[in-house]
A and B are shown apart, each in its own frame.
Chain A
Amino acid sequence: MTQVSLEALAAAVPDGAMLALPPDNSLPSVALAKALVRRGARGLRLLGVPVSGFATDLLIGAGCVAEVQTSAVSLGEAGFAPRFSAAVKAGTITLRDATCPAIHTMLQAAEKGVPFMPLRGVIGSDILAHRPDWRVVQNPLSDRPDPILVLPALHPDVAAIHAVMADSEGNVWVGRRRECATLAHASRKLLVTVERVVPGNFLEDERLAPGAISATYVEAFAVAERGAHPVALLDEYGFDAGYVAAYARAARTEEGFRAWADEHVFGHAARVAAE
């Protein structure tokens, strides 16, 4: 759990890595996604936990992504994710459809160190027909016919989140977004951007400890103020609907996306946002 620069954090995500990202209501690090675009990351295999949003569309548009495993990709009220839709149509990314609780369950299996975990439902869905890694078995504890889905443990290479704060010990605080803790437990390394670093130790504070992810799991963190923007961050700041709507309009075309990225990822607006 070392504090590094944002660009060093992006350098810690190797090309080709399976990179797990939370969706737009659960602490995605948009700052790290932008830094990955700047570093020219390639071949990333993104995992939506359990769905995908703004950061995923941005990484796809910039050509950083080979594969997406997710339960949905959406920009919320701004509608369909334009670069994702274009990439699916062009066949430039491999898409592995899932359903939300299946992704949580695969991560929970990894968290527990077991090879698989069962989940109800899903049988009869075409999602299952396109997932050779998912199996339906007879419930071994039942005497009656009871088919049930078993899902393999999923260990992302890297998970990236934007937490509110880190402390002097490198613990990070995510409040009630506890699925980020499961993600941390299941992933080989967790990279975190934070709004700020505060003195002390969250684990010694009874009220902060339940919302903390222990430094045990944190590979490295970097300060990135407003690092979730345009996504909301708990009670710190709200969703910037105007920014996302402007992105959605611009990113309808490849050229529009490039111009948007030049300004907001590489250009002046990006530098101001990062400062």
Chain B
Amino acid sequence: MSAVVQPEERLAAVLARLILDPSAPPVRHIAVGAASPIPAAACWLVSKLGHPVRLSLLHKRSGNPFTEGSRELFDLTGQGRIDLFFLGGGQIDGQANINLIGTGEWPGQGVRFPGSFGSAFMYFMTPRTILFREEHSPRVLVPRVDHVSAPGVSPPEVFRRGTAQALVTGRCVFRFDPGRARFTLESTHPGESLDSIRAETGFDFDAPVEVPTTPDPTPEELSLLRGPVCDEMLETYPEFCSRVWARAAAA
């Protein structure tokens, strides 16, 4: 086993720590979408570390967790039975608004993104959301999103169970404070600094005097990721397992 920690492994371990954060609402049930192999790896890591968590992979082909089709995810979430969801964005701004619509004039005359999926519901109805986007650049992390698929904060009279807990990128971890609608830099991944993060981030954020470096995965976490976590992921995320761990699914 290589001692070199791959970026995907570090991100999975970072997300796993955020999932287990004792100061956040407890997690019993997480749903993960098709385009989210790193969040899925993080959830499996939490599970393989021995924490009881139910993980529902929306696009799992054999043994799909939903028997009422894709609307069951939203019904479950409405009932309060999904504790954590991951969202990304073509653009994300400093108030944790996300844009999956596109840039330029509505509905995306600049670059059209695929669309909002369930974000305009999930972001409100899940007690916490982890925002995850590997690309960390001024074109993604913008001062103000061109269009709001789902807002980061809402007026007090609007029913809302939660919002962003954190934003994890390929360069750093930000925490989100919904009271102030503002991110604080929590740690930078190896090779990054406060200055490099400022240069690559379109929105303003707070930072401590000393910014810690994001810790590497522990040897135990690495061996779980490369063994049992990869085993669980092969069917749903074959390309990811092949690319990161050079493992091919059985034919």
User: Given that A73-B115, A148-B159 are contacting pairs, would A127 and B120 also be in contact in the complex, using a CB cutoff of 8 Å?
Assistant: yes
Closest Cβ of chain B to A189, distance in Å, is: 20
Closest Cβ of chain B to A83, distance in Å, is: 12
Interface residues of B in 98-119 (CB under 8 A from A): 100-102, 106-109, 112-119
User: Given that A71-B115, A80-B114, A89-B109 are contacting pairs, would A123 and B67 also be in contact in the complex, using a CB cutoff of 8 Å?
Assistant: no
Please tell me the number of chain B residues within 8 Å of chain A, measured between CB atoms: 47
- Bound together, the chains give a CA A125 to CA B99 distance in angstroms of 10
Interface residues of B in 118-159 (CB under 8 A from A): 118-125, 147-151, 154-155, 157-159
Interface residues of B in 9-46 (CB under 8 A from A): 34-35
Do B112 and A125 have beta carbons less than 8 Å apart? no
Q: Is A270 an interface residue (CB 8 A)?
A: no
User: Given that A72-B114, A97-B115 are contacting pairs, would A176 and B74 also be in contact in the complex, using a CB cutoff of 8 Å?
Assistant: no
B149 CB contact (under 8 Å) in A73, A77, A125, A179: A125
Q: Is A178 an interface residue (CB 8 A)?
A: yes
Closest Cβ of chain B to A64, distance in Å, is: 20
Do A119 and B121 have beta carbons less than 8 Å apart? yes
> B160 — nearest CB in chain A belongs to which residue?
A121
Please tell me the number of chain A residues within 8 Å of chain B, measured between CB atoms: 53
Q: Is B219 an interface residue (CB 8 A)?
A: no
Q: Is B220 an interface residue (CB 8 A)?
A: no
- Which residues of the partner chain A approach B74 to less than 8 Å between Cβ atoms? 100-101, 104
- Which residues of the partner chain B approach A72 to less than 8 Å between Cβ atoms? 100, 114-117
Do A130 and B61 have beta carbons less than 8 Å apart? no
Q: Is B216 an interface residue (CB 8 A)?
A: no
User: Given that A89-B109, A124-B151 are contacting pairs, would A99 and B157 also be in contact in the complex, using a CB cutoff of 8 Å?
Assistant: no
- Which residues of the partner chain B approach A176 to less than 8 Å between Cβ atoms? 64, 66-69
> B110 — nearest CB in chain A belongs to which residue?
A89
- Which residues of the partner chain A approach B118 to less than 8 Å between Cβ atoms? 50, 71, 99-101
Q: Is A207 an interface residue (CB 8 A)?
A: no
Q: Is B180 an interface residue (CB 8 A)?
A: no
- Bound together, the chains give a CA A99 to CA B100 distance in angstroms of 11
Closest Cβ of chain A to B201, distance in Å, is: 23
> B65 — nearest CB in chain A belongs to which residue?
A176
B120 CB contact (under 8 Å) in A89, A121, A178, A182: A121
Closest Cβ of chain A to B167, distance in Å, is: 19
Query: Besides A80-B113, A88-B112, A121-B121, 14 other CB < 8 A contacts?
Result: A26-B69, A72-B116, A88-B109, A101-B121, A108-B71, A120-B78, A122-B121, A126-B149, A127-B149, A176-B64, A176-B66, A176-B67, A178-B72, A180-B69
Could you list 17 examples of A-B contacts with CB < 8 Å?
A25-B70, A72-B116, A74-B115, A99-B119, A100-B117, A104-B70, A120-B78, A120-B125, A121-B125, A122-B120, A124-B150, A124-B151, A127-B149, A130-B106, A176-B67, A178-B72, A232-B61
**Interface set of A (CB-CB < 8 Å, partner B):** 23, 25-26, 50-51, 70-74, 76-77, 80-81, 84-85, 88-89, 95, 97-102, 104, 108, 119-128, 130, 144-148, 176-180, 182, 232, 234-235, 238
